[in-house]
Amino acid sequence: MKPESNESTELLDTAEPFSLLRAGELTCGIDFLTDFWQEKYLREFIRDGGSKIKFVTGRPGSGKTHLLRLACTLAEKEHYKTVRFSARNIWMHDFKEIYVEIFRQCGIQSCLEGISRHLIGEMGFQYTDIPEGMKFIDYLSQNGSGDAITKREIRSQLRQIFLDNSLLDNNFALACSMLTGSILGYPILEEQNRDLLLAWMEGDRSVKLSQLRALDFYPSRITKYNARHMLRSLAEIVRMGGYSGLFIAVDDLEILTSRSSLEPVHYTKMKREDTYESIRQLIDDIDSMKNIFFVYAFDRELVDNENAGLKSYQALWMRIQNEVVGERFNRFSDMVDLDRLAMQEYTPEIIKAISNSLAAAPLSPIDDENARRIAAQARTGALGIPQLILNAMEEVNANV
């Protein structure tokens, strides 16, 4: 169940200093990290079948949301299915809710269409030869090839692609097989049954299992206990559909420790610990998944709060803390500290370059003196460098 909130992910960006620009328009400084992610993870490790979870932290205004937006933009360029949402909008303690949001955003239909094109090629045909709007079985019939032997071959291909794939949950595979058959035109699937299958895959509680049994389909409901297994299946369908993988960005995780009555959700101690346990289980299961990249972002409060933050749940903290912290920022680290990155990469020159990019927002850029002041202030202040830049630019505008 979603918390009561009408905010979209785009509206959530307004709290971030870089939300005035499209993600790809501002890469100064942060490209030290994002270029590395693109090269080592998006183009190589994840695309080649790996999986990874990263955690991004920093002071308010340090550019966490901007990093997630930029990473999503880069992932899309590398042909990933991307999903981005805020912990303010989705309950995090029940992994089924996370799975449902990922399923809704990733667009499984385009993946199944990609798989159907692959099947057509495996049968010796070119999908480009099929007129737009015509089903494969109708194309075969039109060309005198829609006989029983060909239909049997379609069934055989569907079985090999889906049911013989060990990475797919058997029920998930069977549902995808029937849905792909409906795209091909064989085996025939009525539209209401197609909608029923999609509703089950989305975790819709209103679906009656007895209705599914009429399709010779006997699944169990998707719950928090099997949702990670279903996510693994979904990631595999994304890959089979011709995509590089699945990139998932989760923002605002610091909501777990918030006591504000203005927040759309409130986490009790039990729900908070259930969330930590859910993330712990995901970390332990991630190596059994393929082609999937998770990034969680949160304010430093979630690290510093000893009583309610990550450190309060040792089973999770011992898995994500950096054992060795060197002098230089480690781009391989799974715990990404944007404040540490800023101290290393955000020189006065970079600060001015960021200001010049933001000047198109429209705001006036800062001068050398302000850039040096920001670089010095960021070492001890409560705000991240990006927010300090924006504040300084607003002061310049106010004085014009």
Among residues 88, 70, 96, 109, the alpha carbon closest in space to that of 247 is found at 70
Question: Is pLDDT at 279 greater than 60 in this prediction?
Answer: yes
Q: Which CATH class is domain 9-16+27-94+244-343?
A: alpha beta
Alpha helices in 123-190 (DSSP H): 136-142, 148-158, 170-184
Mean pLDDT of the chain: 88
Distance CA 82, CA 115 (A): 19
Residues 6+ apart with CB under 8 A from 388: 61, 374, 377, 378, 381
Tens digit of pLDDT for each residue in 268-277? 999 999 999 9
* Residue 367 pLDDT: 73
Distance CA 365, CA 355 (A): 5
pLDDT tier at 127, thresholds 50, 70, 90: very high
Q: Compute the average pLDDT of residues 67-73.
A: 94
% pLDDT > 70, the chain:
82
Tens digit of pLDDT for each residue in 25-34? 567 778 899 9
Tens digit of pLDDT for each residue in 144-179? 998 999 999 999 999 999 999 999 999 999 999 999
The amino acid that residue 11 corresponds to is: L
* Residue 5 pLDDT: 43
Q: 80 with 247: CB under 8 angstroms? A: yes
> CA 45, 341, 294, 237: dihedral to nearest 10 degrees?
-40
pTM of the model: 0.87
* Residue 374 pLDDT: 63
Distance CA 217, CA 383 (A): 55
Helix 148-158 to helix 108-122 angle (10° resolution) is 130
Domain ranges, ordered by start, for the chain: 9-16+27-94+244-343, 108-223, 346-400
Q: 309 with 301: CB under 8 angstroms? A: yes
- The DSSP-derived string for 8-32 is -HHHHGGGSGGGGS-GGG--TTTHH
* Residue 52 pLDDT: 98
Higher pLDDT, 4 or 209: 209
Distance CA 316, CA 256 (A): 14
Helix (H) or strand (E) holding 77: helix 64-77
Distance CA 19, CA 65 (A): 8
Percent of the chain as helix, strand, coil, to the nearest 5: 55, 10, 35
Q: 310 with 302: CB under 8 angstroms? A: yes
